[in-house]
Amino acid sequence: MTPLAYLTADLPGIGGRIKDKVDDFLVEELPLYPLSGSGTHVYFKVRKAGLPTPAAVARIARHMGVRPDAIGVAGMKDAQAVTTQMMSLEHADLHRLRAFRDSQVQLSVEALHGNKLRAGLLAGNRFQVRIRGVGELQLEPARRILTVLERRGCPNYFGLQRFGARSDTGDLGRCLVRNDLEEFVRIFLGRSHPDDPPDCRSARDAFDAGFYQRAMDCWPRHFADQRKALAAYKRKHRPVQAVMAVDKRMKRLFVSAFQSELFNAVQQRRVQTLDRLLGGDLAQIHASGACFRVEDPVAEQSRSERFEISPTGPILGYRSSLAEGEAGTIEHAVLDEAGIAPDDFRHVGSLKIKGSRRPLRFRLENVELTAGEDARGPYLQLAFSAAAGCYATVALRELMKTPELG
């Protein structure tokens, strides 16, 4: 993927490493509302280590004897971290829930509430990250970068994890939006990568060579979507059948990754002016989430400087509103380069993607930076809170400026 531009390009990064161990990266979900204490939905706090949220949900669901989608979650949390988040289950057997035991997942029952916890129902996240391989000498350079990010805001890029371990989820989404199903199948089932696990690499190489049964034998059982797509493709060699076999939620994730790529492309072009309003901008009011079209950027700029409002970029869909004027020229240039228009998202197979807007920056709140040392050596520890949907790794890449963070 093309490296993304830094807001603080004029300030050297401090280097270092993150996620040497999962307990170097802590995430705690911040609730959107207090629990009522009454209702049919049991809310419980889940602490997991080294495990993605869907895997934790699957283990709890298996123990409770329910489908994974019966368990409500507000957001997906990093696998390579120790994370704490709320989940919910209606009519849960409290005795059975409290009896859950797992080496990577611990839970505690919190309270009852009147509705299921759904995606997006969180205020944000609190992060605490230890950056290894650096120490007290890097405190001042780090503070200079953080001062800029706190004053102007942090670029609201989607982080690398949005695009999957193979960095191809956006490509798969682009294929779905363009209805290029042949290319989708080639990427989804073939084109091995050196970093693929050996069995997956063998499966992809066999598919590319036309040995479909050998590919099926190589795919691990837990790659269920690949196996289903391959089984469908084997029968008639029709890409449409293979794509139909892929879980709808997975296809939505691919389209979302493509939307994220387009947003990042707009963000990239505006990163040095992410706090400056342009004529025709669609600005978001942070307190309410509502957007309005900026008619007089000079008159509104003071609100941006107080972080009351921010310019936004498109999460493209068929109902997307695009900016006008100077801001619109940037957005249309990105879409023209991609060969995409909002109406292309109206019928993506069985999906209809409406679209939305996303601020071009987010605020780092309650920032704490300290130096320390433990048995693993010196480190800097950064803690901060950020709104839901914002990536801690994007703030860390500004601070560290290492290739691993994109």
Q: Which position among 78, 168, 171, 275 bears the catalytic label?
A: 78
In order, the DSSP letters of 59-88 are HHHHHHTS-GGGEEES----SSSEEEEEEE
Handedness of CA 105, 110, 116, 121 (dihedral sign): negative
pLDDT score, position 264: 98
Alpha carbon 326 to chain centroid, angstroms: 28
Tens of pLDDT, residue by residue over 21-42, are 999 999 999 999 999 999 999 9
Greater confidence, 160 or 46?
46
Tens of pLDDT, residue by residue over 59-69, are 999 999 999 99
As a whole number, mean pLDDT of residues 151-169 equals 94
pLDDT score, position 405: 85
pLDDT at 1 exceeding the cut of 80: no
Is 78 one of the catalytic residues? yes
pLDDT at 404 exceeding the cut of 90: no
**What rounded mean pLDDT belongs to the chain?**
96
E strands, 65-173, where? 71-73, 82-90, 105-113, 122-132, 154-155
Per-residue pLDDT band for 365 (boundaries 50, 70, 90) equals very high
Domain coordinates of the chain in residue numbers?
Answer: 33-120, 157-362
Q: Which amino acid is at 32?
A: L
Q: How far apart are CA 59 and CA 43, in angstroms?
A: 17
As a whole number, mean pLDDT of residues 44-60 equals 96
pLDDT score, position 350: 87
Q: What architecture is domain 157-362?
A: 2-Layer Sandwich (3.30)
pLDDT at 14 exceeding the cut of 90: yes
**CATH number of the 33-120 domain:** 3.30.70.3160
**307-346: string of b/e by CB count within 10 Å (b at 16+)?**
bebbbbbbbbbbebebbbeebbebbeebbeebebebebbe
pLDDT at 236 exceeding the cut of 90: no
